Amino acid sequence: MKLLVFIRVYSVVFVVRSFFVLFLCTWGGLAQAAVMAHVDRFNISEGETVNLTIEVTGDDSGDPKTAPLQKDFEILSNNHSSSFTIVNGSTSSKSIYQLMLRPRHAGPITIPPLKVGSTATSPIMIQVSKMQARTSPTGHPTGDVWISMDIAPKQIRVQQQAIITIRVYQAVGLNQAQMSEPTAKHVVIERLGDDASYQKQENGRAWQITERRYALFPQQSGHIDINPVQLDGSILVGGASYFQTARPIRVRSNTLSLDVSGMVDGWSGDAWLPARDVSIEESWPQSNTKFVVGEPITRTLTLRADGLTASQLPELPHELPDNLKSYADKPVLKDNKLHDGVHGMRQEKIAIMPMQPGVYILPEIDIDWWNTATQQTEHATLPARTFTVVAASAASSAVVSSPPPLSQPPAKIARPVPTPVTQPLRSGVAAWWQWLAIIAAAGWLLTLVYVGYLRRSGNIRQRNVSDQAAPENLKQARKAIEAACNNDDAKACEQALLQMAHLQLAHHLQLKGMPVHSLAALADYCDETLKSEVLKLERLLYASNRSDVSIWRGEALLQAFRQSKSFTTELGAHVDKTDALPGLYPD
């Protein structure tokens, strides 16, 4: 028993000692942390990359602090791998950080110490050689990517347009490529249209060429240097295998220089306009040249220039004669950027208000411009325009007094006849036409009287026919009312009363425009007793509680109906006395 207890105690002690020894070994291994950094090369050219590797052995207390690198380098990629091993009870860990760096400038650059946990890397010095910029676009493309930049013309005047053409030659595919814009001091640069792509065989290789154009406008004379454009991207290396990697590249174009002259000596124009072509035109919404006082005339002037932006085009003159007022809208400026350059347009709309009638002349508009192709001064001219303004009353009277063509007498009647006998003949003819007009008017009057008589006679005959048929129909309607009242049928009584009203009041209501479509309207034609019963029936039929209809009794309404000799006792309120209605019980 004692032996068993001893064995158990010894086993526990052995396990504890083993864990303690393992802990000491592990702690001792981790405590021996080391950090080392190195680069793949120390001399590089501007635009190239350098690979920085940081190895951390031992205590892995975090990633390296790479913020100090941002001052002199672009960090293009940052990869990390780690491993952990135990050999004969000895534990070791290792982390590797690989950074791809691209220098921001040429010259000697120091990779600063990078802190990793409680320790740091050692500084590393590298040398970056300045890239030799090409000063000419000529030469054969080399490498995998090549950029050329050209400008035409190379000698221009201030504010004249020059075209920059950039061509990117690609022998391999590019990924995530970005190209900068051309820059220079004291110029305005506008991109033209879309890129053009084509293929070309040159220097023994097939090239995919992308062409991009810009319009440049110098704002002052002198020598101008145009900075090279720069393309950043990556190309795939490793052939067609599955282990392809992207290699970043940076390519720059050549630089450009431009000599800019000033304006032509002795330029007399109001605005300096160096262009390939300048034109001016106008449009009028009205097709005629005669207008009315107080009515606005809209005049649209459009100035176009080939080789200038809309902001370079001057304001057009609006000189008007006296008694003409003008109201100008905000000008419309538009640039059409095509492959051959910028085409500017300035459009102005003016509302001209004539205040007095008369003949007005709008003066000629003449704009001087410099032809960059012929190196001569030319003129864009809009001829003078003449138009007439008449008074509003004169315009309206002219319209009214103009007789239609058919009313004009024949030409042979207008000619004078030398024989004196014709004078009394014309007087007799005039008198004869006067009598004919009087007779015609009298005939029209008699016709209207006769038509009125016929209509009146027709109405009387129609009414007599209706009156002759009325007694038989009224008897049937009266029987329907009595039957409904005796059967205590409220809905049938309503229909019978409205039918009775239609028969007895049809003629009168047709003349007066007062139809009867409800019991309330019918009540206005009844005496007081019958009116009270009719209104009671209506309230019962259209009350919210429709169950009361079943308890209606028609005895009271039937008695009031029999005692009433007419639907109304005051015919003057709704019916003329000459149109008195027959009684309910005609003889």
Whether a cis peptide bond, with omega within 30° of 0, leads into 218 is no
Residues 574, 464 share a domain: yes
d(CA 24, CA 88): 14
Q: What is the 3-state secondary structure (H, E, C) of 398-447?
A: HHHHCCCHHHCCCHHHHCCCCCCCHHHHHHHHHHHHHHHHHHHHHHHHHH
d(CA 482, CA 497): 10
d(CA 515, CA 283): 63
Q: What is the pLDDT of residue 451?
A: 63
In 3D, which of 59, 74, 62 has the Cα closest to residue 114?
62
Q: What is the pLDDT of residue 90?
A: 75
In one-letter notation, the amino acid at residue 289 is T
What token pair was written down for 327?
A: 């109201």
In one-letter notation, the amino acid at residue 248 is P
Q: What is the pLDDT of residue 442?
A: 75
In one-letter notation, the amino acid at residue 119 is T
d(CA 412, CA 407): 15
SS3 457: helix
386 lies in some domain: yes
d(CA 52, CA 75): 10
What token pair was written down for 226?
A: 């145009």
139 lies in some domain: no
Residues 289, 211 share a domain: no
Q: What is the pLDDT of residue 91?
A: 75
- Is residue 385 within 8 Å of 362, Cβ to Cβ? yes
55 lies in some domain: yes
440 lies in some domain: no
Residues 563, 497 share a domain: yes
Residues 308, 233 share a domain: no
pLDDT digits (tens, 9 = 90+) for 379-424: 999 999 999 999 887 555 544 444 444 333 334 334 443 433 334 4
Query: 50-57 and 90-103 as β-strands: parallel, antiparallel, unpaired?
Result: antiparallel
* DSSP string covering 29-66: HHHS-EEEEEES-SEEETT--EEEEEEEES--------
272 lies in some domain: no
- In the listed set 357, 374, 393, which residue is the last one of a domain according to the structure? 393
Q: What is the pLDDT of residue 577?
A: 41
Domain holding 235: CATH number? Answer: 2.60.40.10
Domain count along the chain = 4
- Is residue 568 within 8 Å of 559, Cβ to Cβ? no
Residues 179, 288 share a domain: no
Q: Residues of 156-176 as b/e, b for ≥16 C-beta within 10 angstroms?
A: bbbbbbbbbbbbbbbbeebee
Residues 160, 93 share a domain: no
Q: What is the pLDDT of residue 166?
A: 96
Residues 242, 291 share a domain: no
Side-chain-side CA neighbours of residue 13 (13 Å): 6
Neighbours of 58 (CB within 10 A): 19
Tokens 């019958």 — which residue? 530
As beta bridge partners, residue 77 has 100
User: What would you report as the CA-atom Rg of the chain, rounded to the nearest whole angstrom?
Assistant: 55
SS3 2: helix
Can you give the pTM of this predicted structure? Answer: 0.54
Residues 242, 162 share a domain: yes
416 lies in some domain: no
Rounded to the nearest angstrom, the gap between the alpha carbon of residue 459 and the centroid of all alpha carbons in its chain is: 66
Within 8 A by CB and 6+ apart from 91, the residues are 25, 26, 29, 30, 84, 85
- In the listed set 76, 99, 129, which residue is the last one of a domain according to the structure? 129
Within 8 A by CB and 6+ apart from 274, the residues are 156, 157, 158, 159, 160, 161, 307, 308, 369, 370, 372
Side-chain-side CA neighbours of residue 21 (13 Å): 9
Helix axes 422-486, 555-563, angle to 10 degrees: 140
d(CA 85, CA 93): 6
d(CA 315, CA 67): 55
Residues 295, 376 share a domain: yes
What token pair was written down for 443?
A: 């005939």
Extended strands (E) in 311-340: 324-328, 332-338
- In the listed set 261, 292, 319, which residue is the last one of a domain according to the structure? 261
Residues 547, 482 share a domain: yes
Average pLDDT, the chain: 78
Range of the domain at 376: 281-393
List for the chain the helix, strand, coil content (%; round to 5): 30, 35, 30
Per-block mean pLDDT, blocks of 10 residues, the chain (587 long): 47 49 44 78 82 83 86 88 78 85 90 88 89 60 86 95 95 87 95 92 86 96 94 77 73 92 90 96 78 90 96 92 91 94 96 92 95 95 92 59 40 39 41 65 72 59 48 79 90 87 63 61 83 86 66 88 64 41 42
Tokens 């083993």 — which residue? 18
- Is residue 167 within 8 Å of 147, Cβ to Cβ? yes
Residues 574, 471 share a domain: yes
Domain holding 85: CATH number? Answer: 2.60.40
**In this structure, what DSSP letter does residue 579 have?**
G
**In this structure, what DSSP letter does residue 575 have?**
S
